[in-house]
Amino acid sequence: MIFGYDQITWGTFPDVFRFMADNPGLMLDKIGEHLQISVLAVGMAIALGIPLGIWLGHLHRGSFVAINVANVLRALPSLAVVAIGLGFFGIDQTNVIFALVVLGFPVILTNAYVAVDSVDADAVEAARGMGMRPLQILTKVELPLALPLIFAGIRTAAVFIVATATLAGIVGGGGLGDIIVNQSSYFLKGVIAASIAVMALAFLTDLVLWLVQRAVTPRPLRGKPVADVDLTQVVPIFEQ
């Protein structure tokens, strides 16, 4: 025992799975709270980052502002953001959601901007030559070509948020962090059980979003870089 806390031994792991089996209600409640916090944060980050990134990428302007603001926000430690937020939101779930949005927003913004901004100019010119209006070019050419990179940003941000949502336990926001930061109440077996649950949620989140990404990505773009796509196959699909 170190500073009053248990040490990990090989005998700890059977206790971990026993804790899960003996406390299914607790684990499910905390997983539900964890997912609620994560979904709210991811949704807000998407709502803020995707439209702004797409708009700036379509205009091919604002790269300096978008990328540098994103880098500044990405450099902020989430725990520091939570601490600063105490003065504005108090000890509440809102504080953690704000910190998680700050964590996820830069990745989503940067990927959305780069995805649209880097769409092949030949594809855009081909669409213009076919008589498409600017809005049609955005929705039928630029966005479909940008989807893989946009979703890569969403996947990365979502995994970051799910893994970091344990900070909610520090400010009474609920979730699996409640168990992780309360070893005195749940013992080491509970802390490890909650940690395993967080890892499982992060992997599951990445898998689900990968499946969604594959489902919404045009077939000619699946499994290959955009630069390698035959545009004669892609543009007719967008025109339909």
At residue 165, what is the residue type? A
Distance CA(189)–CA(18), nearest Å, equals 9
pLDDT in tens, 68-93: 877 787 778 887 888 888 777 777 78
Query: How large is the angle between the packed helices 143-164 and 24-59, nearest 10 degrees?
Result: 140
Q: Who has greater pLDDT, 235 or 122?
A: 122
Residue 124 CA: distances (Å) to CA of 8, 16, 160, 216, 225: 58, 56, 33, 20, 17
Asked whether residue 3 carries a pLDDT value surpassing 50, the answer given is no
Distance CA(159)–CA(209), nearest Å, equals 10
Percent of the chain with pLDDT over 90: 34
Question: What is the predicted pLDDT for the residue at 49?
Answer: 92
Distance CA(199)–CA(41), nearest Å, equals 18
* Nearest CA-CA partner of 165 in 28, 27, 30, 23: 30
Distance CA(51)–CA(40), nearest Å, equals 17
Q: What's the whole-number mean pLDDT along residues 134-159?
A: 86
Average pLDDT, the chain: 82
Distance CA(191)–CA(182), nearest Å, equals 8
Place of tokens 């997983």: 31
pLDDT in tens, 41-66: 999 999 999 999 998 888 877 777 77
pLDDT in tens, 215-238: 877 676 666 554 444 433 444 433
Domain 32-239 has CATH 3.10.129.10: no
Residue 30 CA: distances (Å) to CA of 90, 167, 186: 21, 13, 13
Direct distance between the N- and C-terminal alpha carbons of the chain, in angstroms, rounded to an integer: 67
Q: Which stretches within the chain are classed as H helix?
A: 12-22, 24-59, 63-75, 78-89, 93-117, 121-129, 134-137, 143-164, 177-180, 183-216, 231-239
Distance CA(180)–CA(46), nearest Å, equals 28
The residues with which 2 forms a beta bridge, in sequence order, are: 5
